[in-house]
Structure 1
Amino acid sequence: MTFNLSVSPDFAPDHISGWYFFNTWLQRTLDIGIHLELYDSFDAQRKDIRADKFDLIYANPYDASMLVRELGFQAVARPASQPDETVIAVNAESDFHSVEDLVEGCRVATTDDPDVHTMGMIMLESADLDSSNVEIKQHSSYVVGAKNLLNGDADVGFFLKDAYDELSELIRSRMRVLVRSEISVVHHSLLVGPRMAEHIPALQTALLTMQDDAKGKGVLESMGISSWEPMDVEQTEFMIDLIDTLID
């Protein structure tokens, strides 16, 4: 039997090859067949998730709620010391130097990554801004959002911190961060579906020792991850409850 793996579309383009390396490493380590399918759209991926297409998913916090509570997935690991945080940034030449400087009618470059968008909107509340008095400009990726800021088609942008940090130095040098969130307990996680449940013990053991092996360490580096740490039911439920509260 061949299992199917997918990855939340918000990873940096430079890490595409890393996920293919990871898939190969997983197959050899667990001695099972795994097919990797990547997406450039959250909506397209969620459609296939709901169609029960996947058995292993590196999921963003928003999708983790659906996967665990509706589809019976179980979180087994998360990247160590790598929480998901949101960055609000502007063009370096912008007259806005703080969130409170932003005004009604400003154009917000965002993506369809719901947890990052939601946190960005929450952070705009200090300027008395919400979806009713700003112009939301949704883009397919953080790179496209950054380009909109740089060419003057948006006034402010929301970014996943890791995605912002991995923009080219040239792009970041032309942008200025107004604020970063500091939640610390929200993060991407690797979740296993019911069909693959029997492999959880072997998978978790392999992941938690991955950095100790030369090949495993190389794969981790290509993914932008230093190591994995275990994730239990309590941690998973706490994170999901927090995300559900923010989005509701």
Structure 2
Amino acid sequence: MPFNFTVSPDFAPDHMSGWFYFNTWMQRKLGTDIHLELYDSFDEQREAIKAGKVDLIYANPYDASMLVRELGFQAVARPIGKRDEAVVVVPAESPAQSVEDLKEGSRLATTDDPDVHTIGMIMLEPADLDSGNITQKEYDTYILIAKALLRGEADVGFFLKQGFDELSDLIKKQMRVLVSSQISVVHHALLVGPGMQDRMAELKPLFVEMNKDEKGLGVLESMGLRGFEPMTTEQTEFMIDLIDTLTI
């Protein structure tokens, strides 16, 4: 039976092929079969996780609590220099110059990316806005959020900062960032499930030294990553506690 690997659905579409390269590289290095399954939504992915269909995951930080504390996953590595920050964005012609200028009844464009949505809603609090006094529509991608803002279908949008930064300059010039989070300790992570933890001793150096391998470096570039660094149990628990605090 092959191991099963999946990736948080919020990765940039341009990097999809990179994750398949990563899976192929990983199989060759480990000398074992690993099946990569990509899911269209967080809910679909969570169902697979709870059904025991995932052994290794590049996980969204929001799901780390469930994976680690409920299902026994362990963190092995995190991406170097990539933290999950959110930005609140309006069309360039919006009269709002700060979050406080946003009004009740504002139309919000968001995604099902749970940590970005949670952080974004926290950043709306200075305007006394919450789910009860705004309308919100969920979009599948950050490109679609940008289109909604530019077409006048939304007044404000939430983006993963990296997702916003990866938009074309032409699109970004037509929008304006009101505020960006600065949490700095929230990030994705490679987590290993119970069925694969007997290979932890191989996995940690494999990922951490990936950017020292010529082929591995090429794979990382296709994924939009510089490399991986070790992630300790203490760092994992701290991030989970912070996320749990944010969602209360």
Query: How far apart are the structure 1 equivalents of 2:51 and 2:9?
Result: 18
Q: Which moved more, 1:1-10 or 1:163-172?
A: 163-172
Correspondence list, 1:76-225, <5 A: 76-225=76-225
TM-score by length of 1: 0.98
Match of 2:58 in 1: 58
Query: Residue type matched to 1:232 in 2?
Result: T
Query: How far apart are the structure 1 equivalents of 2:45 and 2:21?
Result: 21
Partner SS, residue 49 of structure 2: helix
Partner SS, residue 104 of structure 1: coil
Correspondence list, 1:65-76, <5 A: 65-76=65-76
Query: How far apart are the structure 1 equivalents of 2:217 and 2:114?
Result: 31
Query: How far apart are the structure 1 equivalents of 2:170 and 2:199?
Result: 43
Report the alpha carbon displacement of residue 209 of structure 1 after superposing the two structures with TM: 0.8
Query: Residue type matched to 1:19 in 2?
Result: W
Match of 2:33 in 1: 33
Report the alpha carbon displacement of residue 202 of structure 1 after superposing the two structures with TM: 0.8
Query: How far apart are the structure 2 equivalents of 1:162 and 1:8?
Result: 14
Query: How far apart are the structure 2 equivalents of 1:179 and 1:211?
Result: 33
Query: How far apart are the structure 2 equivalents of 1:110 and 1:39?
Result: 19
Report the alpha carbon displacement of residue 150 of structure 1 after superposing the two structures with TM: 1.0
Query: 5+ unaligned residues in a row in structure 2: which ranges?
Result: none
Report the alpha carbon displacement of residue 169 of structure 1 after superposing the two structures with TM: 2.4
Query: How far apart are the structure 1 equivalents of 2:169 and 2:45?
Result: 30
Query: 5+ unaligned residues in a row in structure 1: which ranges?
Result: none
Report the alpha carbon displacement of residue 170 of structure 1 after superposing the two structures with TM: 2.2
Query: How far apart are the structure 2 equivalents of 1:227 and 1:76?
Result: 13
Partner SS, residue 220 of structure 1: helix
Report the alpha carbon displacement of residue 174 of structure 1 after superposing the two structures with TM: 1.4
Cα RMSD for the two superposed structures: 0.9
**Could you report, residue by residue, the CA deviation over 1:211-230 in whole angstroms, capped at 9, with x for unpaired residues?**
11111101001101101010
Report the alpha carbon displacement of residue 99 of structure 1 after superposing the two structures with TM: 0.6
Query: How far apart are the structure 2 equivalents of 1:41 and 1:194?
Result: 23
Query: How far apart are the structure 2 equivalents of 1:147 and 1:200?
Result: 43
Query: How far apart are the structure 2 equivalents of 1:92 and 1:219?
Result: 36
Query: How far apart are the structure 1 equivalents of 2:3 and 2:130?
Result: 42
Query: How far apart are the structure 1 equivalents of 2:180 and 2:144?
Result: 20
Query: How far apart are the structure 2 equivalents of 1:174 and 1:10?
Result: 23
Query: Residue type matched to 2:227 in 1?
Result: S
Query: How far apart are the structure 2 equivalents of 1:53 and 1:246?
Result: 29
Partner SS, residue 36 of structure 2: strand
| Runs of 4+ in structure 1 over 6 Å off | none
Query: How far apart are the structure 1 equivalents of 2:214 and 2:129?
Result: 49
Query: Residue type matched to 2:38 in 1?
Result: L
Partner SS, residue 38 of structure 1: coil
TM-score by length of 2: 0.98
Query: Residue type matched to 2:86 in 1?
Result: T
Report the alpha carbon displacement of residue 194 of structure 1 after superposing the two structures with TM: 0.5
Partner SS, residue 10 of structure 2: coil
Query: How far apart are the structure 1 equivalents of 2:118 and 2:88?
Result: 12
Report the alpha carbon displacement of residue 114 of structure 1 after superposing the two structures with TM: 1.3
Query: How far apart are the structure 2 equivalents of 1:3 and 1:28?
Result: 13
Report the alpha carbon displacement of residue 190 of structure 1 after superposing the two structures with TM: 0.3
Report the alpha carbon displacement of residue 163 of structure 1 after superposing the two structures with TM: 1.1
| Percent of pairs with identical residues | 67
Aligned residues: 248
Partner SS, residue 37 of structure 2: strand
Report the alpha carbon displacement of residue 111 of structure 1 after superposing the two structures with TM: 0.9
